[in-house]
Amino acid sequence: MSVGSKTVIAVRSTAAVVAAVGVVGTSAQQAGVWDDPPVGLLWTCIVSPAAVAIGEQIRGIVKERKSGSREERQQAVDLALTQAVLRIHDATGFDKYDIGVSVWRVRSPRLRWLTGGHGSLQRVGRRRFNPRPTPSDITWTRGKGVIGLCWEGQDELHKDLRPACKKYPNGACTETRWQSVSPDLRMGMSLEEFRMMIGKYGEVLAMPIKSAKGTFLGCVAVDVPIEACNPDDVAKLGTTAVRNIAAATADVMQEVFGDA
């Protein structure tokens, strides 16, 4: 079983327990009975039910709309992404205007020469309250970029790109330096694509969306611009709290996509 699958199962199976502990813990603190509860425990109790809320509260709306018009299905997607942004803001402290959450779906290749015959990831939803950074004009295929590597590995993937942004500010990389860039940092991109991407985002998290049979349907991507990242802080998008939110959102997207 993949880590991504375990994350989704964990979100579902522990929801009631964590929510109950959260209510008891926060209530006890407010009542003055528990003056110094473990911060980590309260943090988990507050964030985990929030992540579950995406999967439970919105799932009802999705079930009503997924068989409706295209506009209704898109409304369900937009609602889930908006909720994800707000929950991630609560979990990380990132300004909600800096958080981007997108959903990508595998599309069969029409121009096989462009995608190598393996299809590509098409963005079908995006929520970012700030118009910048703008979407990248890159065709994301299997094995290219964070979301393409998520597709290739069939599992969640978090990338802390702050060191790369510092080493190659604004994607500044000569052809000579490009030869020494590690495959892990190239992420299947060409030099031109690398220049477009590095220096743009500080962190990226990709969470797979899978059918009931385990088929990769697409992924949910969470990102923050490099300007929003403190180089001295620990990476935030790879935390359990954010992964749970992304997994719950991916679970909702599976409801929208079905097993097609």
What pLDDT, in 10s, does the model give residues 18-75? 333 343 343 334 444 444 444 333 334 444 555 555 556 566 666 665 556 778 888 8
Q: What is the CATH number of the domain that holds 238?
A: 3.30.450.40
In this prediction, residue 204 has a pLDDT band, given cuts at 50, 70 and 90, of very high
Q: In this predicted model, what pLDDT tens digit does every residue of 122-148 receive, in sequence order?
A: 999 999 999 889 888 899 999 999 999
% of the chain exceeding 90 in pLDDT: 61
119-134 burial, b at 16+ Cβ within 10 Å, e below that, comes to bbbeebbebbeeeebe
Residue type, 143: G
Q: In this predicted model, what pLDDT tens digit does every residue of 105-120 receive, in sequence order?
A: 999 766 555 555 679 9
* Helix, strand counts (H, E) of the chain: 11, 5
Structural domain for 244, as ranges: 3-257
Number of domains within the chain: 1
Per-residue pLDDT, 71: 84
Position with higher pLDDT, 99 vs 117: 99
